[in-house]
């Protein structure tokens, strides 16, 4: 949901594209800014590997501002970094194994966060609480019509629509494969998303996913202003880029942070200096699948 505005060859503004906001699910642009932070981390990593130092200044005064971060690139010594991490990263939703994440892997995933990543193994009270809250929040969101209509807007059922837009939720991204994927691509319509059958099936799938895996990771921030969200998104991306090499899946299930009931419960159980920003289901995989997301061409989000 970002754009890059070119002020000069090495002087840019990273902004929030108002056409790609989610007012029903993300009215304060919290997740949009976290996503922009992840993009900025990828940008910084790629630039350093190509011999540029990236300087960033948050210029947005509030979460609704379109222009968010000013970026300047300056020539520097290149940093050795495996850029395939960026192209091979993906979200994995199914097939997560149930064993607890090893201590050394938790420490590696936690390293970018300075004490703001918390792992709760499967079967612990915290993990059960997160699981139950996630499923309940998913159910609430599914039956909130504006949120479901927003989902319908961004679902890309057919291959033609997916290739034309190169964004949104494709059948591959939703991990609907085989005959089911073929059926969905050819016969499902956007109006089906707001139907009772689709809602019930979505809740069943989310409940199944939430019950799988080796536990949950919560990533927090000190606050919720624009700078906090950008920085937290960058930290998340550093962790996400490490997961594949350790055969670990990370699946964001953030409905508990989006719905009022979940927000109230979190606020009543945590201090003001602990602000959850990511709820991630985590687990080892037998085999890591290849990426399936369609990439948008650079020209589609660059402005002059």
Give the pLDDT of residue 42.
Answer: 97
Low-confidence ranges of the chain (pLDDT < 50): none
Give the pLDDT of residue 265.
Answer: 87
Give the pLDDT of residue 36.
Answer: 98
Measure the CA–CA gap between 157 and 172, rounded to whole angstroms.
Answer: 10
Measure the CA–CA gap between 71 and 78, rounded to whole angstroms.
Answer: 18
Give the pLDDT of residue 266.
Answer: 83
Give the pLDDT of residue 230.
Answer: 98
**Tens digit of each residue's pLDDT (9 = 90 or more) over 271-287:** 677 799 999 999 999 99
Residue 21 in contact with residue 29, Cβ under 8 Å? yes
Give the pLDDT of residue 94.
Answer: 95
**Tens digit of each residue's pLDDT (9 = 90 or more) over 63-100:** 999 999 999 999 999 999 999 999 999 999 999 999 99
């Amino acid at each position: 949901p970002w754009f890059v505005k070119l002020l000069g060859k090495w002087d840019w503004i990273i902004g929030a594209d108002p056409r790609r906001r989610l007012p029903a699910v993300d009215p304060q642009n919290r997740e949009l800014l976290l996503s922009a932070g992840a993009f900025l981390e990828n940008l910084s990593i790629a630039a350093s590997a190509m011999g540029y130092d990236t300087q960033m200044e948050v210029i947005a005064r509030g979460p609704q501002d379109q222009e968010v971060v000013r970026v300047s690139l300056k020539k520097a010594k290149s940093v050795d970094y495996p850029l395939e991490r960026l192209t091979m990263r993906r979200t994995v939703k199914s097939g997560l194994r149930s064993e607890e994440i090893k201590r050394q892997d938790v420490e590696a995933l936690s390293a970018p966060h300075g004490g703001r990543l918390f792992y709760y193994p499967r079967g612990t009270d915290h993990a059960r609480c997160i699981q139950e809250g996630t499923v309940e929040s998913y159910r609430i969101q599914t039956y909130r019509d504006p949120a479901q209509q927003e989902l319908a807007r961004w679902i890309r059922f057919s291959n033609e629509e997916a290739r034309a837009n190169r964004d949104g939720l494709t059948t591959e991204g939703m991990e609907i494969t085989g005959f089911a994927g073929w059926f969905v691509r050819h016969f499902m319509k956007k109006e089906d998303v707001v139907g009772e059958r689709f809602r019930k099936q979505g809740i069943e799938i989310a409940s199944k996913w939430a019950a799988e895996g080796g536990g949950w990771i919560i990533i927090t921030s000190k606050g919720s202003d624009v700078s906090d969200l950008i920085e937290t998104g960058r930290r998340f991306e550093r962790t996400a880029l490490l997961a594949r090499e350790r055969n670990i899946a990370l699946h964001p299930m953030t409905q508990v942070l989006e719905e009022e009931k979940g927000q109230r419960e979190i606020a009543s159980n945590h201090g003001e200096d602990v602000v959850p920003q990511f709820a991630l289901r985590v687990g080892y995989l037998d085999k890591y699948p290849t990426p399936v997301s369609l990439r948008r061409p650079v020209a589609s989000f660059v402005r002059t």
